[in-house]
Structure 1
């Protein structure tokens, strides 16, 4: 599920008043890749972890020669101390950097739109007026529309104030990044948990029951009797894993364990994995030569994808 953290980026104004569309805001720990990490069936997970999801798509279109050439240049960038070796620290830093790139690009995309007075900061009033406009109670078409509008406005203001650590009503670039991507910041975790519960908790009791948990992910179509296997599996996860105290509900602490597992560093695990698979002399660091000898694990190309397609087809036969 792709995570979206703004209710809207612009207010649609036409003949009739329109409230910004409420988008799903259930927060999940971002994954390095959408693919399963199973090297026996291909290296797409490793490619997306090492390059970033968008850059991995570019490499998929390259020839093996072009892919190796670009990989060599990337290795030179990763080797920040220029000692000829890629250490775990250097590789871990690179993977973290690639995963944050989409966040930085998202902030770049919206910064100019919201910094109306070009002072290098974004005031709450600038964000509010750009996103929600200047509307009075009389301009709403109905009560439900008005309630939804005010709830969204209140929610964004609450998050903005949490991101605004010095409380001056102005978001620096770092604070605005925390506002857009709260799952990346420890001091925003309470907001992430609160918003997640609000998204899923339909009866307003402040916790999530099994029906709400499943209903957020799956809605049976009319006439559909059998639920998919993954829904059955998620129900089991709810009862056996998510609901730690076995009271039939997910409270705030259990939601935190679900969406923000703080003891897992996927970038660190991937850095260790790549070094383990590539380091032939067991010195816990890898050379450019070792990386290029295993280039298809780090990056893709038309050739490696063709090979993976053949493997997939063979498995399906």
Structure 2
């Protein structure tokens, strides 16, 4: 971690503030298009489904709720999803809801960081503002106060490359849309090359320009001594061989990685809507009722869902 030079209390405060300024979640492209950072493995829990159905950040607060409270709030959510009020949740309605939660997460994430970086409050964020807020103390010290100097220099280079790509007019200043592209490049077609490049840099540990199956699995799972691999790891190995590795050469090249990680190639929200309906549609009519959803409440919310204790007190037009 950080090796702090004990110079003064003021220096310690600046160092701590600078460490907090670097948002770790923005340093890594998200493979699941912001639905969840968890493995989709229903045999071992429904955390992915909770995140997808109600948003990653919001999915944390149901831990404090009883099953009865969870079901009550879920019932109210179902009423919101049923936009045509016909008593059924169709694939289109559920898909729209999941996309809504995804967009809301992105907007709230951008808003959360915006005030930290727009130092002059001009409604824009320059590269200098972002760089100085994020790395200022370390830049002054040439990264001598961090344990892994090379890593932080690499992060700075990577941030600058991503920022310049997001800055479409090249003026060195990000509008809110451009800053959103910077924080969430997987959501923008013109950021495609950055998404692929960063993913390759993260996963290709031996630097040979391609991803083998060990690197692919190692990015998602690290085995503990004596522990057997969970079923989902075996499934991912099969996916690697049968689907990801399109040319069957034993590796993923940049094109194959793009097909894997880019949401434009795979619509995760669509897949999740289909998955939830298939799992809960007991009469197989391709749509679900509130009764069917509540019978499977743990799949949708369980003990982790959203801050609907707060959301449900808001005006409907705020959602």
In the superposition, the TM-score normalised over structure 1's length comes to: 0.67
Q: Specify which of 31, 48, 71 is matched with residue 74 of structure 2.
A: 71
Q: Specify which of 300, 303, 306 is matched with residue 302 of structure 2.
A: 300
Q: Distance in 1 between matches of 2:274 and 2:233?
A: 34
Q: Specify which of 38, 41, 47 is matched with residue 36 of structure 1.
A: 41
CA deviation vs aligned residue, 1:57-87 (integer Å, no higher than 9, x gap) = 5445434443333223222322345565543
Q: Partner of 1:250: helix, strand, or coil?
A: coil
> Could you tell me which residue of structure 1 aligns to residue 101 of structure 2?
98
Q: Specify which of 180, 187, 191 is matched with residue 183 of structure 2.
A: 180
Q: Please say if residues 32 and 268 of structure 2, whose CA atoms lie closer than 8 Å, have aligned partners that are also in contact.
A: no
When the two chains are superposed, the root-mean-square deviation of aligned CA atoms in Å is: 4.5
CA deviation vs aligned residue, 1:116-149 (integer Å, no higher than 9, x gap) = 111111111111121222777985659x977655
Q: Partner of 1:264: helix, strand, or coil?
A: coil
Q: Specify which of 197, 200, 215 is matched with residue 197 of structure 1.
A: 200
Q: Please say if residues 114 and 127 of structure 1, whose CA atoms lie closer than 8 Å, have aligned partners that are also in contact.
A: yes
Q: Partner of 2:129: helix, strand, or coil?
A: helix
> Could you tell me which residue of structure 2 aligns to residue 270 of structure 1?
272
Q: Distance in 1 between matches of 2:289 and 2:213?
A: 50
Q: CA deviation at 1:160?
A: 0.9
Q: Partner of 1:109: helix, strand, or coil?
A: helix
Q: CA deviation at 1:244?
A: 3.4
Q: Please say if residues 181 and 187 of structure 2, whose CA atoms lie closer than 8 Å, have aligned partners that are also in contact.
A: yes
Q: Specify which of 219, 236, 251 is matched with residue 253 of structure 2.
A: 251
Q: Please say if residues 260 and 266 of structure 2, whose CA atoms lie closer than 8 Å, have aligned partners that are also in contact.
A: no
Q: CA deviation at 1:153?
A: 2.6
241-250 or 87-96, which moves further after superposition?
241-250
165-174 or 271-280, which moves further after superposition?
271-280
> Could you tell me which residue of structure 2 aligns to residue 87 of structure 1?
90
* Long gaps (5+) in structure 2: 305-319
Superposition map of 1:41-52 within 5 A: 46-52=49-55
Q: CA deviation at 1:300?
A: 2.6
Q: CA deviation at 1:208?
A: 3.7
113-122 or 96-105, which moves further after superposition?
96-105
Q: Please say if residues 208 and 251 of structure 1, whose CA atoms lie closer than 8 Å, have aligned partners that are also in contact.
A: yes
Q: Partner of 1:300: helix, strand, or coil?
A: coil
Q: Partner of 1:244: helix, strand, or coil?
A: coil
> Could you tell me which residue of structure 2 aligns to residue 169 of structure 1?
172
> Could you tell me which residue of structure 1 aligns to residue 313 of structure 2?
none
In the superposition, the TM-score normalised over structure 2's length comes to: 0.66
Q: Distance in 2 between matches of 1:127 and 1:260?
A: 26
* Long gaps (5+) in structure 1: 1-11, 303-317
Q: Distance in 1 between matches of 2:284 and 2:222?
A: 51
Q: CA deviation at 1:111?
A: 1.0
Q: CA deviation at 1:193?
A: 0.9
Q: Partner of 2:194: helix, strand, or coil?
A: helix
166-175 or 132-141, which moves further after superposition?
132-141
